[in-house]
Amino acid sequence: MDRRQCLKRSLAVGAHLTLPAGLSGLAGCSPSSSTDPAYSAIDGRIMGTGYRVLLTSEPDAALPDDVLSTLQEVDVHMSTWRADSELARFNASVDMDWQPMSAVAMHVIAHAVQASEQSGGAFDATVGPLVDLWGFGPGATDTASNARPSLRALQQTRARIGHHNIEIDVGNRALRKRRPDAQLDLSGIAKGFAVDRVAQLLKRKAHANFLVNVGGELRARGGKLDGAPWRVAIERPGDGPREAQQVIALEDRAVATSGNYRHYFELGERRYSHVIDPRTGEPVDHSLASVTVVAATTMEADALSTTLMIMGLEQGMEFAETHGIAAQMITRHGTALHASPSPAFTELDLIA
């Protein structure tokens, strides 16, 4: 998809790394660079990041190409970096009439709008122009980096933000702009959807045990060769070398992690994160360093981890408790880190 998709607006860029023995993936990073030879692995790069599929059964000869084609389909529809993608063409248009959309794009857009409504705008797929303005997106210039935008520029850009600027007709698979400069960016949700599409492909091919990892978004089915659940490490938030904060057992579930600790600039005594709150137009400024969400689908986990990361600990925990979201929130206080699980996360008993 693109570099910003890898950032996910709230996810560190993936990097290949070797995990501690017995771990199958690291939430918040790209797939592990080592694999037990007893497992079948399919590796590659897409959407500006790495992907890995681990299987306990032997894949057919066509599966690697089928996995890549599945991921490329999402890229073709939802990339904000490719000028020829379906989403890029919609964004470039100033037409305010209804525009037809593919079924695959419409499905993700409808979920994004639902997430915006449910979160009161904390998650918003129209936030792209603000991310560009702060110097963290593909539309930003070098002079926009490492500086606060002017108040006028911020006010003008904020006027373009809000899911109310896009009207959707799910039944007829069509979108309409309510202002000509409105744009959509599905970076906070499309990668999770791509993981789910690969999982659906593997199920159709009768694979009972697998772990799909696209740039740190993971979905598991079944378990490992010994029958135990897949073991996944949550990354310890920090600027140094990547290491595990916690290991969880993942079986027939998905997990996504969002964080604000890798991509930022400093001005004076303040650190400006790439995680932009659509409601204020400003980078988030709270103690929450990362959020991991476990859900039934990776698309859901992807959107929810972004949402909670923007909300911060107090509002995010209240939202998680209200909606039964299984989330692990890690706050930073100086050099100390503190993990706060939601009730639903604790009930799942995931700690490996």
What's the pLDDT tens digit per position in 39-79? 999 999 998 889 999 999 999 999 999 999 999 999 999 98
Which pTM was predicted?
Answer: 0.87
| Sign of the alpha-carbon dihedral angle for 296, 20, 228, 16 | positive
pLDDT of residue 136: 84
| Confidence class for position 262, pLDDT limits 50, 70, 90 | low
pLDDT at position 82 is 85
Q: Note the pLDDT tens digit of each residue in 180-192.
A: 999 999 988 999 9
Residue 27's pLDDT is what?
53
**Cα dist from 351 to 99, 221, 252, 347, whole Å:** 46, 17, 15, 11
List strands edge to edge, sheet with 99-100: 99-100, 174-177, 166-169
Residue with tokens 């306990």: 56
Q: What is the pLDDT of residues 300-332, one digit of tens each?
A: 999 999 999 999 999 999 999 999 999 999 999
The tens digit of pLDDT for each residue in 85-94 reads 999 999 999 9
Q: Is the pLDDT of residue 107 over 90?
A: yes
**DSSP secondary structure string for all residues of 130-153:** HHHHTT-STT--GGGTTSPPPHHH
Chain segment 282-298, per-residue pLDDT in tens: 999 999 999 999 999 99
The two tokens of residue 348 are 């799942």
User: Collapsing DSSP states into helix, strand and coil, what is residue 11?
Assistant: coil
Write the single-letter amino acid at 57.
S
Q: Which CATH class is domain 82-177?
A: mainly alpha
CATH 3.10.520.10 fits 3-72+189-348, yes or no: yes
pLDDT band at 264 (very low <50, low <70, confident <90, very high): low
Annotated domain spans of the chain: 3-72+189-348, 82-177
pLDDT digits (tens, 9 = 90+) for 247-258: 999 999 999 999
Going by pLDDT thresholds of 50, 70 and 90, the confidence category of residue 238 is confident
